[in-house]
Amino acid sequence: CNMCVDRVEAGLEPACVKTCPTNAISWGTKEDMLGLADRKVEGLQARGFGEATVYDPAGVGGTHMMYVVPRGDQLEDYDLPANPTASPGALSALHGLKKLGASTLGLGLLAAGLHYLGFGPQEPEEENTP
């Protein structure tokens, strides 16, 4: 899956969303999806699923995919961990890698700018053809 990057760039939704026969897959901004998920939870609760919830665990900073779970008190039935956590070491390492990447990019741009200022654009030499 490449998230149908060509379709999304053209303003279309991914093919799986378009062709899902049960409309179980949705696509949009996180805010839009949270609103949709909340409405689905309300609908499930109105139909007797009092434990329905949106699975978006805070222990790992949330998920990039949201799940509306009819029985939120039985997450193991859906193979979802109840309280997932990311180790502080892993989060710290990721934060450090972000800083390293940003620093490397910044230094590369600085070097390119200094090279341009020092040497400028080079004009190709004229060819002498007989």
pTM of the model: 0.59
29 vs 32: CA distance, rounded Å: 5
3-state class (DSSP) for residue 107: helix
More confident residue, 75 or 94: 75
- The angle subtended at Cα 1 by Cα 99 and Cα 60, nearest 5°, is 45
Task: Write the pLDDT tens digit of every residue in 15-35.
Answer: 999 999 998 899 999 899 999
5 vs 11: CA distance, rounded Å: 10
Task: Write the pLDDT tens digit of every residue in 33-85.
Answer: 999 999 999 999 999 999 999 998 877 777 778 899 999 999 889 998 888 88
What is the tally of helices (H) and strands (E) in the chain? 4, 2
Instruction: Please tell me the predicted confidence (pLDDT) of residue 130.
Output: 66
Instruction: Please tell me the predicted confidence (pLDDT) of residue 104.
Output: 96
Answer yes or no: is pLDDT of 89 > 90: no
